Chain A
Amino acid sequence: MRRRKLIVLPALVVLLFVAGCKKAPVQTTEVIAVAAAQLPSSPTDAAWDNVPEYLAKLIPQDLVEPRLAQASTPEVRVQAITNGTDVAFRLRWLDSEQNDTAKPGSFVDACAVQVPTKLMPNPPAPQMGEAGGGVQIVYWRADWQAWVNGREDNIKSIYPNAEVTHYPFQAQSLEKGSPEQKEMAKRYAPADAVGNRRQSPRQSPVESLLAEGPGTLASNPAVAVKGSGVRTQDGWAVMMVRPLPEGLAPKKRTSVAFAVWQGSNKEGGARKMRSGWAPLAVEEKKP
């Protein structure tokens, strides 16, 4: 009797543990975009639950100066779903500290998905491509997500204790919201004046980019992207949607690479963790 008890108890513990855990996604050796009628609505959508997962190992950016001196985020878990037109990627990684404010000396959490501009047997350098071998990038940032989520467009949203007595664009002679007032505000926001607003209210937390090697990153309005990110219990979950890479179809392959920036480690720009190329495949549409 005592012997039976000894066997039953561990079995019960195992059963309870398994029942308490969500089923872990199947691990794959390539990123497989699972076919679905529609794309998930968010990074927490239940549609992601049964999608196979690719574990992308990350290494410090090591090609050009400035490099990342010490490795930080070791890996990112990647899933993909396609509706035949667009592909949604979900990236999840561990990050104990939420960094969603860029200010002097402070950096933000961010991630990116990169694919070659066209299908080719030998993809270009995974470090943002090379001359003649361009890459397209979708880039998400935690501070942009905070602006999209409703962060207020004033200095107090960044420095809660800040007191500013007067800005020139608040002069009484300037009617609020008038073209004159906006013009005055632009005079003291040079990046705004040339259409390169990188902070403050935004419609989207992601950006579409292209590059032909380090230092060549440029906006890519030809590829429409969208996305959203949420803070999880132990890190970030970010969904990024872009059109299926041109020519990618079932039984064909292209490449995909990932990057993660950890704000608490003062990572930004070239100081990042990046992966090598992984194969990207598309699942055949289920009948």
Chain B
Amino acid sequence: MARVYNWQLGREMSYWYPESRPKKQFAAVFDTNKCIACQTCTLACKTTWTSGKGQEYMLFNNVETKPYGSYPLAYDVKLLNMIEAGKWSGKTYEGQTIFESAPAGERVMGWRPEQVDYSYPNTGEDDCSGQVDHGALMQLPHMNWFFYLARICNHCTYPACLASCPRGSIYKRPEDGIVLVDQGRCRGYQECVRGCPYKKVFFNPMTGTSEKCIACFPKIEQGLQPQCFVNCIGKIRMAGFLNTPDKARADNPLDYLVHIKKVALPLFPQYGLEPNVYYIPPVHVPASFNRQLFGPGADAAVETYKSARKDMDLAGLLCLFGCSESLMTRWKRTGDIVVGMDDSGTQLVRVPISEPVHVRTSFDPVQKLVRINCP
């Protein structure tokens, strides 16, 4: 194994291949606080990419209700148990990653879901209280909080799927860091399915190869955001390219959110993959749960997000989410207006941070009548 630097862990770690960062890294920020689990993203992806024979069960994009939801079943807690949920010392991870804890004879610490683990997406996830008298689906002591976690492939800097494949059928594009399965080379060993901790590679029983989210790369190549981003009803997502912390640019929307404001965090950074989908953590769940999912920066991220109303730049940038199909790789705020731009600085979209508010009195003196304002 080679030694590579993982900035999310604040240290070097072991990886199957030497460090080789792409020219640009596809990345995204998801605001969990805005997701309503309408599953429009799931369907946008499903109809675009996985409507064929053998793809029936595949969800390159899924939305699960945390803490109990997961697809495939228990993908998260199973692996957390296996790596014994390592500890952090400040911003440095002191536990072992899935590469460092790989047993003898294995490339990564992993597990392979069984057919039944894919059989019940979203079943029973939203039963959050004990008030379901008849037909209760779960007997677990559900807590009175939950949130929705939308997931796609993280197009990791150190992908476990890529490390797991014994014949090098998975590659990371040097031009944008998107991780793909070479469909001409894959022989369906399912090692990538076993290795990916996020379980975002799926075996197709009709073609006999494994398939995964491709970040809609034909759209990325045209400067457009992927399907699950542009179809998002809640406007929770923004796609773009992320630099390493030492090269962070304040005018790059993702750099600003991830590196400068540190309001968006990776999912299960302790696995060691340096995943590139970043989440603004939910503000209303126990801090310990947020820390387990998003690492030691979770508490500060929640506080930063809560105070966004006082931070015009952060509030402005959050307003750009979902406002254009184009990739906004630059941004700026002027007064109450925030502008999304492409690499050349050309304006793509212009959004007011605060909408004009009109307060209507209950009595209309012109019509001389009383109106009932519906909430």
Binding site for B on A (CB under 8 A): 64-69, 101-107, 154-155, 158, 162, 164, 167-169, 185, 187-200, 214-217, 266, 268-270
Taking CB atoms, residues of chain A closer than 8 Å to B114 are 104-105
Known: A104-B118, A168-B52. 14 other contacts (CB 8 A): A65-B106, A66-B191, A67-B105, A158-B206, A191-B207, A192-B207, A195-B184, A196-B184, A198-B188, A198-B207, A198-B208, A214-B166, A217-B167, A270-B191
Q: Is B204 an interface residue (CB 8 A)?
A: yes
A155–B202 alpha-carbon span in the complex (Å): 16
Which one of A187, A189, A266 lies within 8 Å of B207 (CB-CB)? A189
A104–B51 alpha-carbon span in the complex (Å): 17
Instruction: Name which residue of chain B comes closest to A184, CB basis.
Output: B52
CB of B207 within 8 A of CB of A103, answer no
Taking CB atoms, residues of chain B closer than 8 Å to A185 are 52-53
CB of A106 within 8 A of CB of B206, answer no
CB of A199 within 8 A of CB of B206, answer yes
A195–B183 alpha-carbon span in the complex (Å): 9
CB of B54 within 8 A of CB of A268, answer no
Beyond A66-B105, A104-B118, A269-B189, whether A188 also contacts B209 by CB under 8 A is: no
Q: List 14 A-B contacts (CB under 8 A).
A: A66-B191, A104-B118, A105-B117, A105-B190, A154-B53, A155-B53, A167-B51, A169-B52, A188-B53, A190-B207, A190-B209, A198-B207, A215-B168, A269-B191
Q: Which residues of B in the span 127-176 have a Cβ within 8 Å of any Cβ on A?
A: 164, 166-168
Instruction: For residue A15, give the distance in angstroms from its CB to the closest CB of chain B.
Output: 51
CB of A188 within 8 A of CB of B52, answer yes
Instruction: Name which residue of chain B comes closest to A185, CB basis.
Output: B52
Q: Is B20 an interface residue (CB 8 A)?
A: no
Kindly supply a per-residue 1/0 record for chain B positions 175-212, scoring 1 wherever the CB is within 8 Å of any chain A CB and 0 otherwise.
00000000111111111010000000011111111010
Taking CB atoms, residues of chain B closer than 8 Å to A196 are 183-186, 207, 209
A154–B56 alpha-carbon span in the complex (Å): 12
Q: Count how many chain B residues have C-beta atoms less than 8 Å from C-beta atoms of the other chain.
A: 41
A161–B49 alpha-carbon span in the complex (Å): 24
Which one of B53, B113, B185 lies within 8 Å of A167 (CB-CB)? B53
Taking CB atoms, residues of chain A closer than 8 Å to B115 are 103-106
CB of B106 within 8 A of CB of A188, answer no
Which one of A68, A193, A268 lies within 8 Å of B189 (CB-CB)? A268
Which one of A66, A102, A164, A193 lies within 8 Å of B56 (CB-CB)? A164
A64–B106 alpha-carbon span in the complex (Å): 9
Which one of B53, B113, B164, B184 lies within 8 Å of A189 (CB-CB)? B53
Taking CB atoms, residues of chain B closer than 8 Å to A167 are 51-53
A192–B186 alpha-carbon span in the complex (Å): 12
CB of A66 within 8 A of CB of B107, answer yes
A269–B107 alpha-carbon span in the complex (Å): 14
CB of B207 within 8 A of CB of A200, answer yes
Instruction: Name which residue of chain A comes closest to B202, CB basis.
Output: A104
Q: Is B112 an interface residue (CB 8 A)?
A: yes
Instruction: Name which residue of chain B comes closest to A62, CB basis.
Output: B105
Q: Is B50 an interface residue (CB 8 A)?
A: yes
Taking CB atoms, residues of chain A closer than 8 Å to B75 are none
Taking CB atoms, residues of chain B closer than 8 Å to A103 are 115, 203, 205
